[in-house]
């Protein structure tokens, strides 16, 4: 059965454990010997170049690819089991979504509840309450009947964040959450991430944008085919480490405007 909301508060529970992770696509190594351990209630930045294995790590954590070696546990469970308990939510880059699909904001957020519904996916009152609550938190309740095609980039991002909230996931994987969002959304999201942390959720943010990492990530993971460095942001996020992650480029080049290249 689904874990109750209070389960987020379990002190010092291990949310994500990855050990000796190796992933290869038909002989091409995407990730080798990557290790990572995140406790409940933290915000962790995942930083690396395009093709460094950020999305491969995400896919492995979501159980989409089977690592050739190593183990992953989410909330102490194998990935498939954690999936069934609705533990992991992925918040996509909205560019990957078909915005002309005929669904409303409400419909999209309700999709976060599907995993907890019966096979016919008929919403109960508790599901509707969860959706309403999630929409309130991202300040989109007024727009609930709007088709997603009519939203701005920031509103769309908040819609998918609301879906993760409605899902009551304890682990949130966010793909470039600050790409192309307005100032209001950016502030609201930063605020929400801090709240999520205090609620005991664990947030892993894949990003190019190094300034956001410095601002509010407790931990940072630098990757390039493997975990190069990982730990408290203040200790790990040094110019030397960043230069190493980005293949020796001076950090001032990197902290410039985010590149428009796609992830992996």
Partner 1 sequence: MNALLAMSTPMSWLMERLLEPLSHGFMVRALCVSALVGGVCGLLSCYMTLKGWALMGDAVSHAVLPGVVVAYALALPFSLGAFVFGVGSVALIGFVKQKSRVKEDAVIGLVFTGFFALGLVLASRTRSNIDLFHILFGNVLGISVADIQQTLLISTIVVVILVLLRRDLMLFCFDPTHARSIGINTGLLHYLLLSVLSLAAVAGLQTVGIILVVAMLVTPGATAYLLTDRFDRMTWLAILSSVVSSLLGVYISYWSDSSTAGCIVLVQTGLFLIAFLFAPRYGIFKSRSLPAMTASKD
Number of H helices, E strands in the chain: 10, 9
DSSP symbol at 238 = -
Strand runs labelled E in the chain: 14-25, 28-39, 42-47, 69-74, 88-91, 171-175, 202-207, 219-223, 227-232
Under rule CB under 8 A, residue 251 binds partner 1: no
Token pair, residue 114, equals 């599907």
Pick 67 or 220: Cβ nearer partner 1: 67
226: nearest Cα among 40, 9, 54, 50:
54
Q: From CA 164, how far away is CA 180, in angstroms rounded?
A: 20
**Least Cβ distance, residue 162 to partner 1 (angstroms):** 13
Choose which of 121, 136, 235, 249 interacts with partner 1 (CB under 8 A). Answer: 121
Query: Is position 102 an interface residue for partner 1 (rule: CB under 8 A)?
Result: yes
113 is written with which tokens?
A: 């509840």
C-alpha triplet 232, 88, 192: angle, nearest 5°: 60
- The reply on whether position 179 binds partner 1 by CB under 8 A is no
- Contact between 7 and partner 1 per CB under 8 A: no
40 CA to centre of own chain: 14
Q: Which stretch binds partner 1 (CB under 8 A): 11-19, 108-116, 210-218, 229-237?
A: 108-116
Contact residue for partner 1 among 1, 27, 28, 98 (CB under 8 A) = 98
How many chain residues bind partner 1 (CB under 8 A)? 40
Q: Footprint of partner 1 on residues 134-173 (CB under 8 A)? A: 147, 149-155, 163, 167
92 touches partner 1 by CB under 8 A: yes
Q: Which stretch binds partner 1 (CB under 8 A): 14-22, 94-102, 188-196, 204-212?
A: 94-102
Task: Give the relative orientation of helices 153-167 and 125-137 as an angle to the nearest 10 degrees.
Answer: 140
CB of 234 to partner 1, least distance (A): 32
Residue whose structure tokens are 């001032």: 252
Separation CA 148–CA 160 (nearest Å): 10
Q: Which stretch binds partner 1 (CB under 8 A): 29-37, 79-87, 217-225, 242-250?
A: 79-87
Stretch that binds partner 1, among 29-37, 99-107, 195-203, 234-242 (CB under 8 A): 99-107
Enumerate binding residues for partner 1 (CB under 8 A).
62-64, 80, 83-84, 86, 88-90, 92, 96-99, 101-104, 107-108, 111-112, 114-115, 119-121, 147, 149-155, 163, 167, 182, 184
């Amino acid at each position: 059965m689904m874990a109750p909301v209070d389960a987020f508060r379990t002190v010092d529970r291990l949310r994500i454990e990855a050990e000796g992770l190796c992933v290869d696509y038909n002989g091409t190594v995407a990730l080798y010997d990557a290790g990572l351990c995140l406790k409940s209630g933290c915000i962790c930045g995942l930083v690396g170049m395009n093709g460094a294995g950020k999305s491969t790590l995400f896919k492995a954590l979501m159980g989409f690819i089977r690592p050739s070696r190593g183990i992953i546990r989410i909330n102490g469970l194998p990935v498939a089991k954690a999936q069934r308990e609705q533990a992991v939510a992925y918040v996509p880059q909205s560019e990957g979504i078909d915005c002309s699909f005929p669904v409303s904001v409400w419909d999209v957020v309700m999709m976060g509840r599907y995993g907890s519904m019966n096979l016919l996916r008929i919403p109960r009152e508790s599901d509707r309450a969860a959706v309403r609550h999630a929409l309130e938190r991202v300040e989109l309740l007024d727009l609930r009947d709007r088709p997603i095609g009519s939203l701005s980039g920031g509103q769309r991002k908040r819609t998918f964040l609301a879906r993760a909230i409605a899902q009551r996931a304890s682990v949130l994987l966010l793909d470039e959450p600050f790409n192309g969002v307005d100032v209001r959304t950016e502030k609201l999201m930063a605020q929400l991430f801090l709240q999520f942390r205090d609620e005991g959720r664990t947030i892993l943010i894949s990003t190019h944008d190094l300034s956001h990492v410095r601002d509010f990530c407790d931990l940072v993971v630098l990757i390039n085919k493997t975990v190069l460095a990982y730990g408290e942001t203040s200790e790990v996020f040094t110019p030397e480490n960043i230069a190493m992650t980005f293949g020796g480029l001076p950090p001032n080049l990197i902290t410039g405007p985010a590149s428009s290249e796609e992830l992996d």
